[in-house]
């Protein structure tokens, strides 16, 4: 790349970021009714322009094999009228959420009469880097703008044509509703250097959110000069306690493992208390293998699962996020052994216990250090929609600022607003 082109790219990125920052200041003051009207109007336009969206999507699909996408990736890229309708409904659901801007989170009147309020305000500008799923474009734009943030979208090149049309449709309504047109940017250049430029612009961009492979996230975390909300792996566990209802345990394990395997909140490891191992492992083994799941287990589990076709589990297996039809299995002697195993090998994402014992449930919930702890519920519920946050922009594996599903509030900060009557400090 010539120096002139490099400089042009840097200037383009700086200009986009600067305009986003200006728009953010204005957007932070917009009324909820403006933002909601924009969301509902955009939903209508998505429906009306279904043909146009599908034409653009066809361009992406035609180039998919050239980009080396797998069948699963092509499936996620593919739009159809039903998926466009779901996108439209998604926008309407975000419109229906209460406006979070200006909410008083806490307040107190101090003994001297000073009124102290902690008020929720937008972060400012979000830089969102994501994989090739067009529906993510609509979701991200919706929750960023609803939370009062300008957003710079950097989608995968595999969905470039689809995303471009979706963003055009979303941008149309901004000016009509009196919202700043620069609230929503789609980075068009395929040049990967653009990401580096944006990550250097901390004076304009308040948070970077990478979603995709681990190498992308590590690169963004290393390069960014602004805070990053990271979404790393999900090595999630189901632990079947000594008092578990084994029928429930079977259902939950199968749901957590098999309902959707390529996602971060799918189960990757099954721990079974020794007291129920003999009763539970043979039946779950049959059920999982009937669904094509390969088991990798410790010696005690293998003895109960039938050693044929069950490989001994390695340390790496216990630490792995398989994202596919493999499950590691282990028998534990105590609840605390399960908790220690999860905290050691897990990725602090989502872990479930199946138990009928109150003390076990409370101890597991308190001591498992994960973004979500499920008691008698599938790991698959760790999700913004399922938690009632509306849409989500990702599931944070950080402990800082945002943990677990990131909806509107997770894209926000607060300011202190203090009313006095001429108060001076002694």
Tokens coding 274? 């020794």
- Give the number of other Cβ atoms within 10 Å of residue 387's Cβ: 14
Interface of this chain with a second copy, residues 367 to 386, rule: CB under 8 A: 367, 369-378, 380-382, 386
Tokens coding 310? 């069950």
Residue 64 Cα to chain centre, angstroms: 24
Interface of this chain with a second copy, residues 24 to 83, rule: CB under 8 A: 25, 28-29
Buried b (16+ CB within 10 A) or exposed e, 359-369: ebbebbeeebe
- Give the number of other Cβ atoms within 10 Å of residue 195's Cβ: 22
Q: If binding is defined by CB under 8 A, does position 172 make contact with a second copy?
A: no
- Least distance in angstroms from the C-beta of 3 to a second copy: 27
- Least distance in angstroms from the C-beta of 69 to a second copy: 26
Which residues 6+ apart lie within 8 Å of 194 measured at CB? 9, 12, 13, 154, 187
From 39-47, 110-118, 127-135, 138-146, span contacting a second copy (CB under 8 A): 110-118
- Do 128 and 153 form a contact (C-beta atoms < 8 A)? yes
User: Residue 128 or 186: which CB sits closer to a second copy?
Assistant: 128
Question: For a second copy, how many residues bind (rule: CB under 8 A)?
Answer: 60
Please spell the DSSP secondary structure of 180-245, one letter per residue. Answer: -GGGEEE-----THHHHHHHT-TTT--EEEE-S-HHHHHHHHHH-SS-B-------EEEEE-TT--
User: Residue 188 or 376: which CB sits closer to a second copy?
Assistant: 376
Tokens coding 69? 């996408």
User: Residue 56 or 123: which CB sits closer to a second copy?
Assistant: 123
User: Residue 86 or 191: which CB sits closer to a second copy?
Assistant: 86
Member of 47, 83, 157, 251 binding a second copy (CB under 8 A): 251
Q: By three-state DSSP, how is residue 254 classified? A: helix
Q: If binding is defined by CB under 8 A, does position 417 make contact with a second copy?
A: yes
Tokens coding 214? 């681990």
Q: How many residues does the chain have?
A: 426
- Best CA proximity match to 385, nearest among 367, 401, 404, 398: 404
Find where tokens 């003051």 sit: 29
Q: If binding is defined by CB under 8 A, does position 99 make contact with a second copy?
A: no
Q: If binding is defined by CB under 8 A, does position 23 make contact with a second copy?
A: no
- Least distance in angstroms from the C-beta of 169 to a second copy: 30
Q: If binding is defined by CB under 8 A, does position 390 make contact with a second copy?
A: no
- Least distance in angstroms from the C-beta of 394 to a second copy: 15
DSSP 349: S
Q: If binding is defined by CB under 8 A, does position 323 make contact with a second copy?
A: no
Member of 124, 148, 156, 210 binding a second copy (CB under 8 A): 124
- Give the number of other Cβ atoms within 10 Å of residue 418's Cβ: 10
Which string of x and - marks every residue 192-221 that binds a second copy (by CB under 8 A)? --------------xx--------------
Member of 400, 406, 407, 408 binding a second copy (CB under 8 A): 400
Provide the binding-site residues for a second copy, judged by CB under 8 A.
25, 28-29, 102, 108, 110, 114, 116, 123-124, 206-207, 227, 245, 248, 251-252, 255, 259, 343, 361, 365-367, 369-378, 380-382, 386-388, 398-401, 403-405, 413-425
């Amino acid at each position: 790349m010539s120096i002139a082109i490099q400089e042009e790219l840097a200037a383009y990125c700086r200009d986009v970021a600067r305009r986003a920052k200006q728009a953010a200041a204005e957007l932070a003051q917009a009324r909820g009714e403006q933002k909601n009207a924009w969301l509902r109007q955009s939903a209508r336009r998505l429906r009306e322009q279904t043909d146009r969206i599908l034409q653009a999507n066809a361009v992406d699909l035609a180039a998919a094999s050239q980009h080396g996408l797998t069948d699963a990736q092509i499936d996620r890229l593919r739009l159809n009228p039903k998926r466009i309708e779901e996108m439209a409904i998604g926008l309407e659901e975000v419109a229906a959420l209460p406006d979070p801007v200006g909410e008083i989170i806490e307040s107190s009147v101090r003994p001297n009469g000073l009124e102290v309020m902690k008020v929720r305000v937008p972060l400012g500008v979000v830089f969102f880097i994501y994989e090739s799923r067009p529906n993510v474009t609509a979701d991200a734009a919706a929750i960023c703008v609803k939370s009062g943030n300008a957003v710079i979208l950097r989608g995968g090149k595999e969905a470039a044509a689809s995303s471009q049309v979706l963003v055009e449709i979303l941008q149309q309504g901004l000016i009509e509703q009196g919202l700043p047109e620069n609230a929503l940017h789609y980075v068009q250049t395929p040049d990967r250097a653009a990401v580096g430029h944006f990550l250097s612009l901390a004076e304009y961009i308040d948070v970077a959110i990478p979603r995709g492979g681990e190498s992308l996230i590590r690169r963004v975390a290393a390069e960014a000069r602004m805070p990053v909300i990271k979404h790393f792996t999900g090595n999630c566990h189901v632990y079947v306690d000594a008092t578990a209802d084994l029928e429930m345990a079977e259902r939950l394990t199968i749901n957590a493992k098999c309902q959707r395997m390529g996602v971060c909140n799918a189960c990757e490891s099954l721990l079974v208390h020794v007291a129920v191992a003999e009763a539970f492992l043979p039946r779950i083994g049959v059920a999982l293998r009937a669904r094509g799941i390969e088991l990798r287990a410790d010696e005690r589990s293998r003895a109960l699962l039938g050693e044929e076709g069950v490989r001994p589990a390695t340390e790496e297996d216990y630490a792995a996020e398989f994202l596919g039809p493999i499950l590691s299995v282990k028998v534990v002697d105590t609840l605390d052994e399960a908790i220690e195993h999860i905290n050691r090998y897990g990725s602090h994402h989502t872990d479930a216990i199946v138990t009928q014992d109150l003390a076990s449930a409370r101890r597991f919930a308190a001591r498992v250090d994960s973004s979500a702890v499920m008691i008698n519920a599938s790991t698959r519920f760790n999700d913004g929609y399922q938690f009632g946050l509306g849409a989500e922009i990702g599931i944070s594996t950080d402990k800082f600022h945002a943990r677990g599903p990131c909806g509107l509030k997770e894209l926000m900060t607060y300011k202190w607003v203090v009313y006095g009557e001429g108060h001076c400090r002694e």
